[in-house]
Amino acid sequence: MDVFRTLLETQPLLTLFVTVALGYLVGELSIKGVSLGSGAVLFVGLAIGGWAPKSAPPALLGTLGLLLFLYGIGIQYGEQFFKGLTSADGLKANAAAALGVIGAGFVSIALVPLFGVGLDQSLGMFAGSGTSTASLQAAMAAMKSDGATVGYSVSYPFGVAGPILFLYALSALLKPNIERPPPKLMETAEIALRNPVFIGLTLSDLVKRLPDGVAIAAVRRAHHNQQPADDLVLQPDDVLLATATNPALLREAISLCGELQPGRMTSHREDLDYLRVFASSRLVVGRALRDLHFPDGVVCSVAHVRRGDADMMPRQELILEFGDRVGLLVNRGHLKTMRAYFGDSIKGTAELSFISIGIGAALGLIAGVIPLPIPGVGRMTLGLAALLLVALCLGRQRRFGPLVWTMPLTANLVLRNFGLTIFLAQVGIASGPKFFATVGTTGASFLLYGAVILLALVIITAVCCLWIFRLPFDMAVGVICGATGNPAILAFANRVAPTDRPDVGYAMIFPSMTIVKILFVQIAVVLSGG
């Protein structure tokens, strides 16, 4: 064993990846449906660090990992975050989560005078109860000690398991009636125009009278399929190829326009054919559909866009991302041209612009060192919180000239999860010795403190969401997940409330609550004179 300990202490990178492997192995263990996931990497790191005290990798590795995690979060959720700041439900969600986070923060600060807990340890428990690694980094940097890691690691289990148990109990108590929505899959209908009200109108006038969510992808006239030009004047017996992701809306469009005549268009593809391509070219990625300029001589229309597992209607403001699968209607003679235009490479699902990442991260780091005056507090820097803010802005912008800020979802997940894992492993190994020394002297008291902080966070957030702001239950559970932060909690929430609202609620407030947690930690340290 001494030989293995010496090996770990002389090869810190080996120690890092051993910690990652063992951490994920432990994180997959499930007890009654609850598992630690990537959080187990921290505990394995603490164990290895306690056993081999000199094995810690350089702290810069941990900072780099957290940078990748925050940058990926900002790029993915930029658009949802800013929508959340302007919509009524988004403002309510952010207010509810902020009250919960700040309330939990004050509970953690109260531990200092009431029970003699160190400020760094109390802030660490605040970060761990909210599973916020960014807050942990802020506390470590502000206090210039690793005491925050001890509090974080002790309260982190409550930060993961506690909200899951709370959501289970809340669902059992309230018994909400939530139906699982049907999958968003594109459906089509060939409709022969019979309604005399629409004869003589232009196609754009007809579309305005159709149910919202129904689009016309093509028109068949005189035995020829053609593109749906807005100024096309409709004639009797025109056949409309209608598309929608909601079957009920499609049935409504059929009854409104005429009668269903399947096969009239799809069996004749000599004029228009269907082509599905991957969006992987920089000519299209980061651009709205209205801004696409097809090659000269090519007449083409976008029938739908598939992102992840969901079909999306071709709204003019829809911005394409790497890896999107785009359904096109185009003449067969132009199929090869359109494949080249869109790129059509499956590699787009993992495409990264390291130029964009480098520039974006550099801008965030520069913003993080600019001192900002805060009344009553003094001048302080945002640190990595500024990086997250910059990434959110870039994620909303999507593209600037030749620079494409967005990343495919798969690549983004890999990047930020790898960064989070590296951060947890490095911090755990470095803090292992002090962790065991502290827990040996505090006993179960820190466990109790972490549970109290967590309860303050989820109870205040839930009360504000459900009874003060009266948000729907499925939206409220997403807000609770975003306030607590761990993706494992969101995965459980999707089982409790099987709609897309938990994801939307999480996306709207997770970035802002990360910033609130970081700022709370920094302000608390400044006001305490630490």
Residue 53 pLDDT grade (very low, low, confident, very high; cuts 50, 70, 90) = confident
> Which DSSP state fits 57?
P
pLDDT, average across residues 206-231:
91
Instruction: Give per-residue pLDDT as tens, 72-91.
Output: 988 988 888 888 888 899 99
- Ranges 52-61, 223-232, 310-319, 481-490: which has the least confidence: 481-490
Q: Write down the pLDDT at residue 349.
A: 67
Q: Is the pTM of this model over 0.75?
A: yes
Q: State yes or no: pLDDT of 258 exceeds 80.
A: yes
**Contact of 148 with 127, CB cutoff 8 Å:** yes
305 has pLDDT over 90? yes
What token pair was written down for 144?
A: 């210039």
pLDDT band at 498 (very low <50, low <70, confident <90, very high): confident
For residues 349 and 109, the model is more confident at 109
> With 80 as the cut, is the pLDDT of residue 35 above it?
no
**Vertex 417: Cα angle to 465 and 126 (nearest 5):** 45
Q: Read off the pLDDT of residues 453-477 as tens digits, 9 standing for 90 and up.
A: 999 999 999 999 999 999 999 999 9
**Rounded to 5 degrees, what angle do the CA atoms 385, 389, 395 make?**
140
Residue 507 has pLDDT above 90, yes or no: no
State residue 348's pLDDT score.
67
Computed on alpha carbons and rounded to an integer, the radius of gyration of the chain in Å comes to 27
Report, as an integer, the average pLDDT of 106-117: 94
Measured CA to CA, the distance from residue 413 to residue 407 in angstroms comes to 9
Q: Would you state the pLDDT for residue 157?
A: 75
Percent residues over pLDDT 70 in the chain: 95
Distance (Å, whole) CA 399 – CA 404: 4
Give me the helix-helix angle, 501-528 and 119-129, nearest 10°: 180
**The predicted structure's pLDDT at residue 184:** 73
Is the pLDDT reported for residue 33 higher than 70? no
Question: Can you give the residue ranges of every domain in the chain?
Answer: 187-348
In single-letter form, the type of residue at position 11 comes to: Q
With 70 as the cut, is the pLDDT of residue 368 above it? yes
* Residue 376: band (very low, low, confident or very high) from pLDDT cuts 50, 70, 90: low
Q: Which among 275, 248, 185, 257 is positioned nearest to 219, based on CA atoms?
A: 257
pLDDT above 90: percentage of residues in the chain: 45
Per-residue three-class SS string for 398-454 = CEECCEECCCCHHHHHHHHHHHHHHHHHHHHHHHHHHHHHHHHHHCCHHHHHHHHHH
pLDDT at 243: 92
Task: State the chain's mean pLDDT as an integer.
Answer: 88
**Better-scored residue on pLDDT, 297 or 374:** 297
Structure confidence at residue 403 (pLDDT): 87
Q: Is residue 519's pLDDT more than 70?
A: yes
What mean pLDDT do residues 429-455 have? 82
The predicted-structure confidence for 130-179, as pLDDT tens digits, reads as follows 988 888 888 888 888 778 888 888 888 778 778 988 998 898 899 898 87
Buried/exposed code over 128-157 (b: 16+ C-beta within 10 A; e: otherwise): bbbbbbbbbbbbbbbbebbbbbbbbbbbbb
CA angle 344, 348, 353 (to 5 degrees): 135
Classify residue 294 by burial, with Cβ atoms within 10 Å: 0-12, 13-18, 19+.
middle
Could you tell me which residue, 321 or 468, shows the higher pLDDT? 468
CATH code of the region 187-348? 3.30.70.1450
Tens of pLDDT, residues 380-436: 777 888 898 899 999 998 888 888 888 887 888 888 889 989 988 998 898 888 778
Instruction: Write down the pLDDT at residue 73.
Output: 86
